[in-house]
Amino acid sequence: MILVLSPDTGPESPDYKQLLAYLANMPGISTRVRTEVGSEQTLTEVYLIGNTKALLVEDMQNLPCVEQVVRISEEYRVLGRHKDDHRPTYFDYNGVRFGQDTLNVFAGLCAVDTLEHVELMMQALRDHGQVCTRMGAYKPRTSPYSFQGHGKACLPYVFELAGKYGIRVIAMEITHESHLEEICDALYRTGNATGVMLQIGTRNTQNFELLKIVGRQQDFPVLLKRGFGITLDESLNAAEYLASEGNRKVVFGLRGMKTNMGDPHRNFVDFAHVPVVKRLTRMPVCIDPSHSVGMRAASPDGILDIMHATAQGVIAGANMILVDFHPAPGKALVDGPQALLMRELPLFLEDVAIARKAYEQRVALAQRYQEDAEPALSSSVQSA
């Protein structure tokens, strides 16, 4: 059971002290307090652990400074959506909101190769009103002989250029805890010119020790990609690892499943899971059409498969898009064949806007239908 306290309840408040003293005396119940400092308010939640079945929601609701009581199921305790759970489904980071009803595009390089390419990318993003990007400095590669990313050597110029072009958040994969330290250090040295969303890639979805380390820090939000060969439930539990350690600024990423059933695409596109993840949890959901489709093939209608897949995710309510672009895909050191061209950026953004508008119209339609159905439903209940 979770007691959600009134916003801005501080540890020094007499009501808070009285509440904790009361809970400390409850037999068989222990407590764990989580505090989340947001841009507008600080939220405190008290988790009651132990035999909570006997507790009545109404009784707990009457305790000092308790605003809401949520009886949680076993599944995804922190990030899950539980019955009568009105906790937020968004977080803010470096001036950007990530929520289940927002949409942010992270177009960028799969891997940082040259400073010139980074600058061309950032400039194009700025020119098209974008404030987020993706840039890989640490690349997990199948072959030990493939380019592994420039690592910490490229971070200073990536962060400086991001600051120069008004980029507020860079999604950047890390594969080891030392990368977290290197990113912190480089950001500090560039006067925090930008922000970073740490990305846990599909190969590390169940690297539990890495998840715990990343979960213990709250400086950076995390994009957790689903594991390519495990169930959705297993991947959602991986996200819960981050949250159970304290970091609930988590975005869940769909990036396709590894199976020949998806051929000729690189992975089997799994964007039908967008609404499922939004229903089961309070996480915003990201789609990665580049790593799902993995090729620049176009259908006879002239639309690239990557854009079709993007539209499928967006029209189903996706909240973030991670997509590979490159100024010279032929020269890209990683994933050139799936990169979109710089001149396709405005096309891509306009296509996304069309799909988003269609999604919003679908939501409005569903709400209208529900409103029309509700009076009919209640009158039939009355007459029964």
d(CA 347, CA 342): 10
Q: According to DSSP H, which parts of the chain are helical?
A: 14-24, 57-61, 115-127, 155-164, 177-189, 208-216, 232-244, 274-280, 289-293, 305-315, 345-383
Residue 110, interface with Mn ion (CB under 5 A)?
yes
Q: What is the dihedral of CA 88, 96, 98, 33, to 10 degrees?
A: -40
Which residue number is nearest to ligand PEP in terms of Cβ? 201
Binding-residue pattern over the window 315 to 354 for ligand PEP, x denoting contact by CB under 6 A: ----------------------------------------
**Looking at 136, 215, 317, 327, which residue binds ligand PEP (CB under 6 A)?**
136
* Long-range CB pairs of 34-37, under 8 A, 24+ apart, other chains included: 34/78, 34/246, 36/248
> Applying CB under 6 A, does 196 fall inside the site for ligand PEP?
no
Cβ proximity of 73 and 80 under 8 Å: yes
Minimum CB distance to Mn ion smaller for 215 or for 253: 253
Q: Which positions from 28 through 87 interact with ligand PEP, judged by CB under 6 A?
A: none
**Residue number with CB closer to Mn ion (202 or 235):** 202
**Crossing angle for the helix pair 232-244 and 208-216, nearest 10 degrees?**
40
Q: How far is the CB of 145 from Mn ion (least distance, A)?
A: 17
Of the pair 120, 321, the CB lying nearest ligand PEP is at 321
CB nearer Mn ion, residue 65 or residue 198: 198
Instruction: For ligand PEP, give the closer residue by CB, 81 or 326.
Output: 326
Nearer to Mn ion, 110 or 170 (CB): 110
Choose from Mn ion, ligand PEP, none: what does 149 bind? Cβ within 5-8 Å by kind: none
Q: Which of 225, 265, 266, 273 binds ligand PEP (CB under 6 A)?
A: 225
Pairing state between β 222-225 and 2-5: unpaired
Q: Enumerate residues 88-117 that contact ligand PEP by CB under 6 A.
A: 110
Please report which residue ranges of 28-114 form alpha helices under DSSP H.
Answer: 57-61
Contact 176, 102 (CB under 8 A): no
Q: What pairs with residue 321 in β-bridges?
A: 105, 287
CB of 173 to Mn ion, least distance (A): 9
Q: Who contacts 41 (Cβ-Cβ below 8 Å, separation ≥6)? A: 7, 8
Site size toward Mn ion (CB under 5 A) is 2
In the list Mn ion, ligand PEP, none, the entry touching 205 (Cβ below 5 to 8 angstroms by class) is none
335 binds Mn ion (CB under 5 A): yes
Q: Is 291 in the site for ligand PEP (CB under 6 A)?
A: yes
195 binds, among ligand PEP, Mn ion, none (CB under 5 to 8 A by kind): none
Cα gap 345→170, rounded to integer Å: 17
Determine whether 167 is exposed, middle or buried from the number of CB atoms within 10 Å of its CB (0-12, 13-18, 19+): buried
Our finding on whether 201 is near ligand PEP (CB under 6 A) is yes
Q: Could you say which of 255, 266, 278, 326 contacts ligand PEP (CB under 6 A)?
A: 255
Determine the Cα–Cα distance for residues 295 and 256; give it in Å rounded to an integer: 13
- Per DSSP, 135 falls in state B
Window contacting Mn ion (CB under 5 A); options: 50-58, 104-112, 193-201, 297-305: 104-112
202 binds ligand PEP (CB under 6 A): yes
d(CA 343, CA 353) in angstroms, rounded, equals 17
- Residue 168 interacts, among ligand PEP, Mn ion, none and using kind-specific CB cut-offs from 5 to 8 Å, with none
Q: Does 175 bind ligand PEP (CB under 6 A)?
A: no
User: Rounded to the nearest whole angstrom, what is the least distance from the CB of residue 213 to Mn ion in the complex?
Assistant: 23
312 binds ligand PEP (CB under 6 A): no
Helix (H, G, I), strand (E, B) or coil at 227: coil
Residue of 328, 321, 319, 320 whose CA lies nearest to 307: 321
- Judged by beta carbon, residue 187 or residue 200, the one nearer ligand PEP is 200
Per the DSSP assignment, residues forming a β-bridge with 144 are none
**Residue 266 interacting entry, from ligand PEP, Mn ion, none, C-beta within 5 to 8 Å by type:** none
- What are the residues binding Mn ion (CB under 5 A)? 110, 335
- What are the residues binding ligand PEP (CB under 6 A)? 110, 136, 173, 201-202, 225, 255, 288, 291
